[in-house]
Amino acid sequence: MEQDILNLINGALVPAQGGGWLDNVEPATGATYSRIARSGPEDVEAAVSAARKAFPEWRAWSPADRRAVLMKLADKVAENAAMLAEAESKDNGKPVSVAAAVDIPRAEHNLRFYASAAEQFSSESHTMGDGTVNYTLRKPLGVVGCISPWNLPLYLFTWKIAPALASGNCVVAKPSEVTPMTAYLLGSWAKEAGLPDGVLNILHGLGPEVGQAMVEHHYVRAISFTGGTATGAAISALAAPKFKKLSLELGGKNATVVFDDCDFDEAVSTAVRAAFSNQGQICLCGSRILVQEGLYDRFRDAMVAKVSKLRIGDPMDPATKMGAVVSRGHRDKVLAAIDTARGEGGRILCGGGRHQPGEPRLKGGYFVQPTLIEGLDHRCVTNREEIFGPVATLQPFKDEQEALGLVNATKYGLSASVWTQDLKRAHRFAAGIDTGMVWLNCWLVRDLRTPFGGTRHSGVGREGGYNSMKFFTEPQNVCVKL
């Protein structure tokens, strides 16, 4: 065992009170390499109590002081970037090059962005013309819960805790039990960065054991959750009768829409990236590729040629483009989805099964070939349900109207990427799409100030910029008769 992953409660790294542990597995090898504290309601109680105790002091800190502390935490991420990238790659199976270029720099950026937001956040006032003025206070909520998934572990963990802390809340956070390492490491630097004890608490363990206890806890005023749609529904059912604020960032079944006037080379390479980055395990991945019929054959052949050349293998090899999927269970789910596609009559254009790298070290790893499928109707399960792995389908469409119908044909509404050089069509089409986010001639370009989130089964609420700062604060209007 390399390292025990401990809870951070009231400034101390401690095991779960119940003494339980979970195995932490390296997806590229299938080997257990550390133990995770298996926390329960008693640990939630301790964390919430520490957070409540810390709140009066923390909320009184000036925005400038909160900013300084979050910047110091970001400095720790920057100083340890190479080590964090390796840890993320080992824990998740993603290529270390991706962790080093995307996950860790973006985690650092989240902390810096919301550190600045602490000082820039403002609230409104409304004058009534008769000498009456309303001003709105934005008060931190108190203790808030942040629950994050395994696909972009430190990136999404910091996306939540940074605005929660910047706006003056004390946090009880839970990273995914599948990828807890980098959140643990971040927590281990909290004291050194200057966060008072109890302001940031991090609990590890299983969702239904520790996550649910967080959602149910009386003093946890809000839950910011990113994860699967079914989990989001379970959390909503628990939180609604307790009138908690909820931000839910859930699953997606996003379309990449390619019109025949697109910039061909850029559309092909971005469609490949959008489908297979992070082994297809990004909520924003374009897993349904819709191509106008005149361009379909050429586009399909170009995609297949590119995907067949993607280098899949050891995540620690800097040349690797695709690593392992996150767990054995997830690999089996993805393989079962490919079988379903076959059963539904899909033609596998490339991939279609497990990948076995040559290195003996990787013999037990969870590798899946990047897989492209065509010939499936938009109503079939493969084109309706999220797979969240390296699997994408291709569907032809005739015209704009048919394309719009296909884009909006699932219960999800997270994002879409549209490729056309016709400016009018681009804007018209974007406005017709029922998703929270649309990229025109690009994909996954992120400005942290913009509203991030989905419609329908992709979630409720928006995060990003002021949206997050507003979520983590309660507005209180004060009306003054002068």
Q: Which residues are catalytic?
A: 249, 283
Q: What are phi and psi of 277, to 5 degrees?
A: -60, 145
Which CB atom, from 95 or from 149, has the smaller least distance to ligand NAD? 149
Per-residue contact track with ligand NAD, 278 to 317, x per CB under 6 A? -----x----------------------------------
Residue 72 DSSP SS3: helix
User: Which amino acid, one-letter code, is at 319?
Assistant: A
Whether the CB-CB separation of 347 and 375 falls below 8 Å is answered with: yes
Q: Which two tokens stand for residue 290?
A: 């819709």
Measured from the CB of residue 443, what is the shortest distance to ligand NAD in angstroms?
A: 15
**Residue-wise over 250-289: b if at least 16 C-beta within 10 A, else e?**
bbbbbbbbbbeebeeeebbebbbbbbbbbbbbbbbbbbbb
According to DSSP, the residues that pair with 135 across neighbouring strands are: 125, 478
Rule CB under 6 A: choose which of 307, 365, 386, 418 binds ligand NAD: 386
Is 211 a residue that touches ligand NAD (CB under 6 A)?
yes
Is 9 a residue that touches ligand NAD (CB under 6 A)?
no
Rule CB under 6 A: choose which of 235, 275, 387, 391 binds ligand NAD: 235
Per-residue contact track with ligand NAD, 174 to 193, x per CB under 6 A? x-xx----------------
Measured from the CB of residue 306, what is the shortest distance to ligand NAD in angstroms?
A: 24
Which H or E run includes 479? strand 473-481
Please report, as residue ranges, which positions from 352 to 371 form the binding site for ligand NAD (by CB under 6 A).
none
Residues recorded for the chain: 482
Tell the residue number behind the tokens 């971005």, with chain if given: 270
Measured from the CB of residue 465, what is the shortest distance to ligand NAD in angstroms?
A: 15
Is 91 a residue that touches ligand NAD (CB under 6 A)?
no
Residue 176 DSSP SS3: coil
Q: Residue 330: which of 70, 27, 113 has the closest Cα?
A: 27
Which CB atom, from 194 or from 451, has the smaller least distance to ligand NAD? 451
Q: For residue 182, how many C-alpha atoms fall within 13 Å in the half-sphere facing its CB?
A: 33
DSSP 119-173: HH----EEE-SSSEEEEEEEEE-SEEEEE--SSSHHHHHHHHHHHHHHTT-EEEE
Is 374 a residue that touches ligand NAD (CB under 6 A)?
no
- Contact segment (CB under 6 A) with ligand NAD among 230-238, 258-266, 377-385, 466-474 equals 230-238
Rule CB under 6 A: choose which of 168, 459, 461, 464 binds ligand NAD: 459
Q: Residue 158: which of 106, 93, 89 has the closest Cα?
A: 106
Residues 6+ apart with CB under 8 A from 417: 254, 255, 256, 257, 270, 271, 274, 286, 438, 439, 440, 442, 443
Rule CB under 6 A: choose which of 121, 388, 439, 471 binds ligand NAD: 388
- Contact segment (CB under 6 A) with ligand NAD among 210-218, 287-295, 349-357, 469-477 equals 210-218
Measured from the CB of residue 277, what is the shortest distance to ligand NAD in angstroms?
A: 13
Q: Residue count at the site for ligand NAD (CB under 6 A)?
A: 31
Q: Tell me which residue has its CB nearest to ligand NAD.
A: 207
Whether the CB-CB separation of 279 and 93 falls below 8 Å is answered with: yes
Rule CB under 6 A: choose which of 98, 250, 324, 373 binds ligand NAD: 250
Cα 386 to its chain centre, rounded Å, is 15
Which CB atom, from 210 or from 407, has the smaller least distance to ligand NAD? 210
Measured from the CB of residue 142, what is the shortest distance to ligand NAD in angstroms?
A: 19
User: Which amino acid, one-letter code, is at 424?
Assistant: K
Measured from the CB of residue 469, what is the shortest distance to ligand NAD in angstroms?
A: 18
What's the CA gap between 238 and 207, in Å, rounded?
A: 13
Q: Which two tokens stand for residue 473?
A: 């604060």
Is 25 a residue that touches ligand NAD (CB under 6 A)?
no
Whether the CB-CB separation of 469 and 448 falls below 8 Å is answered with: no
- Contact segment (CB under 6 A) with ligand NAD among 28-36, 169-177, 190-198, 257-265 equals 169-177
Per-residue contact track with ligand NAD, 114 to 153, x per CB under 6 A? ---------------------------------xxxxx--
Rule CB under 6 A: choose which of 252, 323, 352, 365 binds ligand NAD: 252
Rule CB under 6 A: choose which of 3, 12, 208, 421 binds ligand NAD: 208
DSSP 227-287: S-HHHHHHHHHHHGGGT-EEEEE----EEEEE-TTS-HHHHHHHHHHHHHGGGG-STT-EE
Which CB atom, from 29 or from 92, has the smaller least distance to ligand NAD? 92
Q: Where does this chain bind ligand NAD (CB under 6 A)?
A: 147-151, 156, 174, 176-177, 207-208, 211-212, 215, 226-228, 231, 234-235, 249-252, 283, 386, 388, 414, 454, 458-459
